[in-house]
Structure 1
């Protein structure tokens, strides 16, 4: 196998699907945060938390989109440390915003 041939296995496709599932989960969390802010009294703290949830969702969406595009190459590069840190920070931010909206 040469360096330009694609891996015959399905690992890149499984990784792409995993990123799609995770993006869908983050989308549901962000939408639930907006719903809670709209129907839960829409106080200033809820609006700020919903806005921060939306920003975290957009950040994660960007990282996931770039990663899924990268999986389409012959030899996908590993996820960069900055991409991993950004995805982790966005996930933690969504969790913190969700916890803040509960209290």
Structure 2
């Protein structure tokens, strides 16, 4: 299908489904990160609050909040008919937040 041509061929793109699926994917990922941060907090409280697990928990929450802000900003940009592509910088920050949550979350285990 040529660029900019919808299935009807009238030259306009149906903006309905793809941005909505992308918004939902960002929301699911944010929810998964929230669950991971919550489990890190639960593990920290269950195993006793020591300095290393507490630092790991604080950094996990910081990474989650950073990801939450990035995801919220991206979700808002998807409400236009032709949303811009995700910038490379934002993609790197998103990946860094997920990796940081994995590393810092493991610090809550001892």
Distance 1:8 1:54, change over 3 A: closer
RMSD over aligned CA atoms reads 1.7
Query: 2:30·2:71 contact (CA, 8 Å) conserved in 1?
Result: yes
Q: 2:87 aligns to what?
A: 80
TM-score (norm. length: structure 1): 0.90
Distance 1:83 1:69, change over 3 A: same
Q: 1:49 aligns to what?
A: 56
Larger C-alpha radius of gyration, 1 or 2? 2
Q: 1:65 aligns to what?
A: 72
Q: 1:11-26, aligned counterparts within 5 Å?
A: 11-26=18-33
Query: 1:23·1:60 contact (CA, 8 Å) conserved in 2?
Result: yes
Q: 1:101 aligns to what?
A: 108
Gaps of 5+ in 2: 6-11
How many corresponding residue pairs?
101
TM-score (norm. length: structure 2): 0.84
